[in-house]
Every structure is written in structure tokens, then in C-alpha cells.
Amino acid sequence: MLNLIVCIKQVPMVSELNWDPRTGTLKRDLAEGMMNPACHHALEAALRLKDLHGGHITAITMGPPMAEEVLREALAIGADRCILLTDRRMAGADTFMTSFILARAIEKECPDFNIVLCGCHTSDSETAQVGPQLAEELKIPGAAYVEWLELKENVLRMKRLSDNFLETLEMDLPGLVTVTTSQYQPRYVPLAGIQDAYDKYDITTLDADDLKLKITGIKDSPTRILKVYSPDSKKKNIEMKGPAKIIVEELLEKFGRKIGGEIQKDLKAYGQDQ
Amino acid sequence: MNQTAQTATAYTAKAKDIWVFGDYRNYFQTRVTLQLLSRAGDLAAKTGSAVCAVVFGHNLDEYVNEYIAHGADKVYVIEHLSLKKYSMEIYISLMERLAKQYMPDIILVGATSFGREFAPRVAKRLGTGLTADCVGLDINEDGILVQTAPAFGGNLLAEIITPERRPQMATVRPGTFQEIPHDYIRKGQVIRIPMPEDLPKERLKIVHYQRKPHRGQRIEDADVVICGGRGMGSKNRFKKLFELARLLGGEVGATRPVVYSDWADPELLVGQAGKHINPNVLFSFGVSGAIQHTAAIRDAGLIIAVNKNPNATMMKKADVAIVADANQLCVALIKELKKRIRS
Ligand SMILES: Cc1cc2nc3c(=O)[nH]c(=O)nc-3n(C[C@H](O)[C@H](O)[C@H](O)COP(=O)(O)OP(=O)(O)OC[C@H]3O[C@@H](n4cnc5c(N)ncnc54)[C@H](O)[C@@H]3O)c2cc1C
């Protein structure tokens, strides 16, 4: 039986996804966290493989206890089993440690997997590092930014766009892919599924001790954050306001030469001719 | 925890070189290797180390010479017919071996699609840290690489170091640093390493590859860029920016929400996750100015921002901050330009 693992991260609701174009404000009343979009697409890719070939999907996430929400969502759409890795000692893990912990959990809980699917990157940090590093930890081949995949016996055929090259790849299994958001539009969550996700299924929750790991996310991460700051700007600005037509005239009056110079047309002269 | 992890102490007696991965697949489009060589030169001046390029492939002389002309003191070369394809697994294994043998202090990799997959795996094999998408790289008093990268999805920057493990690794988006002009008289040492014969069998194969057909001018090369954000309001209004761009012989860029809402092609994304641009004139319509966006426009010349909110970060970063409705201003500008430009 096809044994699929999907790694999912809960991310903060990104502001740009729920902005009200009429009022020009952010809709903050929606849920706080959501399934990272690329992970959602990875889950969809897994579901399609399962639709075609049958199989079993394990969704796994590492995060605070509330990350359980994205696992319930995964169950509602069709995942069969969920694992939540949650432990204060895991907090602050960088990509190196995160992939290390995920790999140990996978080895312990579902060592017989065929394919691991991850989102190509997360919307909150976008390092795109955890997927490739997880492949290394599991000592399996991996392919990032996959847009399309097809299973043929024990080989996964994939397509992706890589640095302006359209590539077709074949990977021996077990293997890992990271999936982009260009295809695999996620299916809707059936209402009945949501109910079931809360009633029927248990989520396996594991901490560092369950995984026999002596770790601290922050201390064992190779990278260290020294400081976080808000960058300041140096440009000296000129403010313009008023009716659009007047501003445009003023703009071309003051900067017409510069803009015109770029496009090799004299923008300023016209105004003076009038 | 990881047996391959190298500590700084084990390293100190060894070479202290700064390596730049030679990513030449899209040589004419992506000058990131040359840009990194330039930055590596600045860092090397502080640590007293050598700048090295590392390149794998077939028929590499052109690149080797180019790297030396752009600041490499040494170039490590592995040349073999079988390296003609940009094969991820083989390249990772080769980099791992070279790094373990020569022990560089720093490895910099361009954040191309290839580099973004290659670097994390190399870092993992070497048991070391990696910072993605650095917008700044410097050396501190302790001789450690300080990697500045956008953080927490907002308007913040973080300074990140890899205090103990070595090498220190970072990826950098194309366009972040400026390459230095080439100097073809410059001499460098070329170290040729034979292709190892005992590489693990490839489990991932490129069956087919083909260059994607290209559209006209690229936004990275444009002298005038018109960047639109969510403040444009709708897909139809956003389209006006293309008309403005045609009038100004420029290209249109977009922010992430715009791309997510499908008002613009993902190729037009300007920012950390998209293109770095350096136009002489940048118009910015309805853009708030998040760090992931502004990090990629730092090299723009004249910046003209239009926003109805005078306090938007983008307005602070502009030479000209126009407080107005982005759509109305765009329409007015198109009208006025049409009057004035009679070609
Ligand atoms: C890991 C990560 C990577 C990212 N990478 C990128 C990236 O590469 N590129 C990128 O752009 N973003 C990126 N982002 C998103 C980024 O943080 C911002 O959310 C995004 O740049 C905001 O886009 P915006 O300015 O169009 O929209 P908003 O932030 O919503 O700003 C809209 C602006 O329009 C103004 N406005 C509204 N109505 C009008 C009107 N009628 N007239 C004039 N002005 C108006 C508002 O005052 C506001 O300033 C990334 C985020 C993360 C977390």
C-alpha cells in the first residue's frame, strides 16, 4: 500500500490574503492561524495520489499545541492519521533542527513510507530549507519546487520549473518532494469531514521524550539570532498632494527631465510650450 | 548530535577561505555568482582570507576565467562530461567532499532555484547552519559572519550568526549585491580536482530539460519600473499600469498580494521571493513597503511612491511621496503623458 507522509506547518494568517479592497483595511477577525498554502497544495497532491492508487496519508506537524487545528483540517480533507510534535524544548528550532526532529518522528512512527510531501516554502519565513534538509536527514532523494507528479511503479515522475528550465525528473522511492502552489488547487473541506475530524480521529501527540531526543530547539540550532530590528530609511522625501491632475503637472515639472531622460523624450518642454 | 558537525575550534588551524558556489546555468540572466564574488572580496579583506569559486560541470574555462576576472583568487574546478547536466545529487556530494577536504570558513550560494535546494542539503551534510535570503553580509569583531535577513514575515531584519559550526553558510538572492567590473588581466589559481569515481548512485535523474521560452524585456534590466501593490484595488485597475509602462518604455512589477490575487503574473513579483530590480526610475503605486518588497528595490534611483496613506513605509522610502488615490493618479499620469509624448 502506498504510504504517504505530508508535512504541514501552521502559519499566521497572512495579511494579504484577507484584505478588504473596499475599506482598505485588514480583516483580522478571521482565524489566527492557517495551513501554510504550499503545505495545503502538498496535501492535495498526496490526496490525488491516494485517489488514483489507494494508500494511506499521515499528516505531521511540529508546532505549539494549537497547531492541532491544521491537522484536524487535514483529517477533514482526507488524511488518515495525524501526528503533532509539540514540546517547549522544540521551540526556536531553526531549519536544521526542525528537519532533524521531523525525521526522527517519521522514522519512529512511519518508517515504511514511500513518499514524503512538503510545501515548497512557508508563507511566514520562506526559507524553503526544511524540505530539502529533511530529505538529507532521512537519507532519501528529494526534489524541490515540484509542480506536477505521477507515480509509475516505484518511480516518481515529476515536472518543475527550475531557473528558467522546464525539467522532467524521475526519482527512485522512497523519496521526498516539495510542492509549489502552481498546481494542485486544494479541494474544499466537506462540512461532514470537519465534524468527523473532531469526533472520530485521535491525533498522536509526541514530545521530545517520546522521540528519545535530548534537545533544546534554540541551543541545538546551528544558527543564532543576534538581534532583530526595524530598518530605517535614508531617502529624503518630497511630499505632493492635491488633485491628481495638479500633482501630475507638478511631478513632470520637477522630475520630467529625469523621467524623460530615461525614456529619451522631452516631457518638460511640452508644458512650457503651452 | 551530528557526527559530521565541525566546530569552530577544529577549524581554526585550517584554511579560512570564503567560497562562492559557481552557479552558471543561467549565466546571462543571473549574475549572482559574480555578485557574491564581489561581496566575498569585501569580507575577505576583513578576515585576510582568499576568495574562492567552486564550479562543477563540463567545458568550464569560460566561467573559470570570468570568476577570476570578477575577484576569485582561487577556483576549484571539477570537470567531467557527466557533470554536463545540473544534477542536484552529484553536485551536493561533490561540494560536501570539497568542503570537508579544504574546510572553507564561509560558503555563499546564490538563491536560484537550484541554489535554494542545493545549499540546505549541503549545510545538512556538513552539519552546519544556513541563513536564507541574506540582504546583508558582514564580518564582526570576532571574525564571524553576520548574516542579515528579513525576519518574522514583517518589516523586520534579523542579524543571524552561526557561532560554532563551520562552515558558515548563506544564500543570497540575485541582485542583492553589485558585481565588480571585470579585470581580465587579474590572475588566479585554478585547482583542478579529478571527478571522484565512488559517488553514490543517482536516485534522482533529469529525464528532460528545456529552456523556457522568454518574453521581451526583463524587469531586472528595465530602466523604468512601474510597481503596483494591492492599493491598485482590482485586476482591471492594475491593468492600467501596463499602459503606463508602455508609455514609459518600462516594465510592470507587482507585490505578493497582487500576484496571489492573480492580477499579475508571478514572474513580475518584486521582492525577496521574486526579482531584485535596479531601475533608474521606480514608480510605486499602492504599495505599503514591507521589507520583503523594499529589500529588492534598494538600488532603484528616483523613487516615486503613490499612496493614500502618507505614513506608509513606502512613502518614507521614496524621493517623491504622492498622497493620492493610486488609480486616479495613474489615469491622470497616462493622460498627461499621452499629451506630451508625441512620437
Ligand atoms: C516570507 C515572505 C516573503 C515575502 N516576499 C515578498 C516579495 O517578494 N514581494 C512582495 O511584494 N511581498 C512579499 N511578501 C509580502 C510582504 O510582507 C507584504 O505583505 C506585501 O509586500 C504587501 O504588498 P502591498 O504593498 O501590495 O499590499 P499592502 O501591504 O496591503 O499595502 C497596500 C497599500 O496600498 C495603499 N492603498 C490602499 N488603497 C489605496 C488607494 N486607493 N490609493 C493609493 N494607495 C492605496 C495602502 O495604504 C497600503 O499602503 C513576503 C512576505 C513574507 C512573509
Q: What is the pLDDT of residues B57-115, one digit of tens each?
A: 999 999 999 999 999 999 999 999 999 888 999 999 999 999 999 999 999 999 999 99
Residue B229 alpha carbon, nearest atom of ligand 1: 26
- Give the domain ranges of chain B: 3-192, 214-341
Share of chain A above pLDDT 70, in %: 87
Q: Could you tell me which residues are beta bridge partners of residue A241?
A: B323
Alpha-carbon separation of residue A6 from A82, A102, A160, A254 (angstroms): 9, 11, 19, 56
> Residue B280: closest CA among chain A residues belongs to which residue?
A262
pLDDT of residue B342: 67
B4 falls in which pLDDT band (50, 70, 90)?
very low
Inter-chain residue contact B340 with A21, CB threshold 8 Å? no
Looking at the complex, does the CB of residue B313 fall below 8 Å from at least one CB of chain A? Answer: yes
Inter-chain residue contact B113 with A238, CB threshold 8 Å? no
Q: How far apart are CA B205 and CA B252, in angstroms?
A: 37
Burial B135-163 (b: 16+ CB within 10 A, else e): bbbebeeeebbbbbbbbebebebbbbbbe
The region, left, alpha or beta by phi > 0 then psi within -120 to 50, assigned to residue B255 is: beta
Domains and CATH numbers, chain A: 3-220 (3.40.50.620), 238-274 (no CATH)
Alpha-carbon separation of residue A136 from A142, A155, B192 (angstroms): 8, 19, 28
Looking at the complex, does the CB of residue B85 fall below 8 Å from at least one CB of chain A? Answer: no
pLDDT of residue B1: 45
Number of Cβ within 10 Å of residue A20's Cβ equals 9
- From chain A, the residues in CB contact with B207 under 8 A are 157, 168-170
Q: How far apart are CA A225 and CA A229, in angstroms?
A: 11
- From chain B, the residues in CB contact with A227 under 8 A are 158-159
The closest of A144, A157, A177, A133 to B113, measured between CA atoms, is A144
Inter-chain residue contact B336 with A123, CB threshold 8 Å? no
The closest of B239, B221, B201, B168 to B93, measured between CA atoms, is B201
User: Is B214-341 assigned to CATH 3.50.50.60?
Assistant: no
pLDDT of residue B76: 98
Nearest neighbour of A164 by CB, restricted to B26, B321, B331: B26
ipTM of the complex: 0.83
Give A179-182's long-range contacts (Cβ < 8 A, gap of 24+).
A179/A38, A179/A41, A179/A42, A179/A45, A179/A117, A179/A118, A179/A119, A179/A120, A179/A146, A179/A147, A179/A149, A180/A38, A180/A41, A180/A120, A180/A145, A180/A146, A180/A147, A181/A37, A181/A38, A181/A41, A181/A120, A182/A147, A182/B266
Looking at domain B3-192, its CATH class is: alpha beta
Question: Coil, strand or helix: which one is B192?
Answer: strand
Cell numbers representing residue B108 in the block: 555563499
Among A18, A27, A163, the strongest candidate for a mutation testing the B interface, having the largest count of B CBs within 10 A, is: A163
Q: B101: Cβ–Cβ under 8 A, 6 or more apart, which residues?
A: none
Residue with cell 522630475: A255
Spatial contact of B223 and B301, defined as CB atoms under 8 Å apart: no
Q: What is the pLDDT of residues A218-236, one digit of tens each?
A: 889 999 999 888 776 556 6
Nearest neighbour of B210 by CB, restricted to A136, A166, A221: A166
Inter-chain residue contact B332 with A128, CB threshold 8 Å? no
